[in-house]
Structure 1
Amino acid sequence: MSTATHPRAYATVTGPTATFITPDGHTEPLTATGNDDIRLTIVRRAAEEARRTGTPVELVTAGDRGEHHLLVTTTGEITPVPDTAPSLEPDQPDPESAEADASLTLHLGEEVREPAQEQQSAAQAPAPEPPTRASFITHTTDSARPVTGWRGALSSLGITVKPSPAELARRDREAVVSRHWAGCRTIAVVNGKGGVGKTMTTAMLAAVYARYGGGNVLAWDNNDTRGTLGWRTEQGLYDTTVRDLLPAAPTLLDPAASVSDITRYVHHQCVDRYDVLRSNPELLATDQRIAEAEFDLLMQVAARYYRLVIFDSGNDESAQRWLRMIDSSYQLVIPTLAAPEPAESAALLLDALRQRDERSAALAAHAVVVVTQSEPARRADLDRVVDGFAPHVRAVATIPFDPALKSGPLRFEALRPATRDAWVAVAAHAAEKL
């Protein structure tokens, strides 16, 4: 085996997906896009690490084609690392290893063909193409008939009416929030100030994704100090919290565990179709702090049983569980009000994340800011907050005033139609980059 002289990244291939570990130990899932081979996706990701570190990266891949060591440069050029594995015989290379390494000898975006392959291709005459057979299956798509307003009424009577641009845009947003991803995705709802709508935002996002995408969504109250997500959502059959789930985590991760075993520790929302992992607001913070290792264990459980996790965060941005949540999230959603103090708190949080590390800075740049009107706000106040955040984040969305959001149970169906549409838009913004 070779001695590592460059930063080393690892990739484990499992079909069209892979698990990639960066040289600094961060783990992330990879999925092939379009018609690309998953190995090309891995190489591109390794090249990104090479450019980030400013030096070639040794890529160690494992999968159904064995283990391979490749040196990936900052430009995406690949060369096998010598002496990574013994040959089958002194002068006979492993044919599968040679095939795998040859298929990976490429620049980013273009394949490099071996000279022998070029000569063989030139020598062979092109085979005649077989005649195209007509398919007996007619592939059709929904003609996007309108379903709301006067257009929807006429359509229900059989009168052909094209949907409006607003309805087409609504359908596009609903398609985005209905997506399923290969592997668990995580969204953190964050703002260091209390009372700005973090719990409300968590519940509404979970409801949208679960209703449109078909469940398997977890709203996790990741709060050291009196998290109230459990107060504003339904209680399940068991009076359990995150403190009860923690000692049961090894059992839930056992291969013999069934998907229904998680039910004892979460609270199902019967109408909105998502689950809630509660904290205990009756305990002091000293009695329910969670360390990094404990958070990681809980995250393993969540990733096994859910396709999407939404964190309702606390206000202590120095807590271990808060920092680990940031490190484990794919997307940030930052709620604020159309008022100076909550908006300033959100802006300071973005500033701190930009200075923390490169990954946190990327999360801040791609954050979605949600400006909620807790009372009918003056247009000038709302515009000031929206315009202040717009140049610094990926998207800014507004939620109109709705009495159903002020207090009591959080139910998606209880909202006004305009408010429901606004939350679907927020969820679509957040899902675009997952």
Structure 2
Amino acid sequence: MNTNVFVRSFRESSPYIHRFRGQTFVISFGGDAIADGSIRTLAHDIALLNSLGINLVLVHGAGPQIDAAMAERGLQGERVGGRRITTAAAMEAVTGAVGAARLAVEAALSQGQMGSPMAGAGLQVVGGNFLTAQPLGILDGVDFQHTGKVRRVAVEALQRHLAADEVVLLSPIGVSPTGTLFNVRAEEVAVATASALGAAKLIFLMDAGGVSNREGSLLRQLTAAEAVAMLRENDTACPSSVRQHMESAIHACRGGVERVHLIPRHVDGALLRELFTREGLGTLISQDPFEHLRRATLADVPGILELIRPLEEGGILVRRSRERLEMEAEQFVVMERDGKIIACAALYPYPEQGMAEMACLAVDGDYRRQGRGEQLLTFCEGLAREQGLRQIFVLTTQTTHWFLERGFRQGTLEELPMPRQELYNMQRRSQVFFRFLT
């Protein structure tokens, strides 16, 4: 790997490392990851997350293992509405299969060979009766018998183990107050646990690459409301398993989980790429929009400085000092993505002339040509209208066509408000463009 690329990538991950320390993540993976051995590679990344101070709750599935155990016993599995009907005989197969799957996960998390990513990790993995279950009961005339659902999560007990830097491993089995075992879907366990703990993230590792729209394009982020609309309108090209994950994500967001990630388990390092890079890898479903367009505050000044500095050095923007930005912070609007300022603009009103100047329009290089400049322009125009202004103008040296393409007309220096004329920099020779607000 190129040394410069490594250094840059490592530095770019540092804000996420700082932010995630002390947070709780719930990570759910199916029995397929155990059956094909990919759990051993996933364990490397789990150990790294633990070393970074992230509290981890792992929820494993055991579908293939249960199917194999039932086949060995000559039992026929039956599903209704995607749920397994668990008879008393099937429950015996379930407990044995889940136990074997759990031991395989514990073995993977206990790796520690010298020279491997797990060397020196020393993960402490704990489990227990953290889930109280109840029978799913009879639905539409179908008795699901020993198939259950989560009734309660032992939050305080889980928090004690997490505070002790232990990794909690949950299996898809719950116990009722009467001591009866129930087969519970791993997804439901993950959602209930993440909601009860108020986890910052719930992560599903799955076969698909994420959520795709009807055209087959991967969607990087969705709000829970948008996910609901997609499912309602059938506006997705996703298989049924991904739809189930979407439904689980929606339930988790409604239960207080801030962000749910759907990522492909077959991609090496998928977990790290999703968490520690700007673009991620799969699909993020969140309570609120992933990107926020809002008025700036003083706290945003460092982020604005970092964003505009390269453009100032290239002569595209007029250089602004930190002191000036602090004085003018209330004039700025910013677009924030995952805690990072990725775009900004300033709006300076001239109410006596019924005009406003939009200045310092900047978009991070990684996010250009995706419509964010137009979003900033629309937002600033809305602010100008709220102030009863009729026109907006800009001064630019290198983006004239961008404004012409968006309905601006070229004007003259004399058309500017007199206070702005007096501040005009003759050396820059900026061109002036106007647009009426409709």
Global fold match (TM > 0.5): no
Structure ranking higher on relative contact order (CA contacts 8 Å, 6+ apart): 1
Answer with 1 or 2: which has the greater Rg.
Answer: 2
Using structure 2 for the length normalisation, give the TM-score. Answer: 0.31
User: Greater strand percent: which structure?
Assistant: 2
Using structure 1 for the length normalisation, give the TM-score. Answer: 0.31
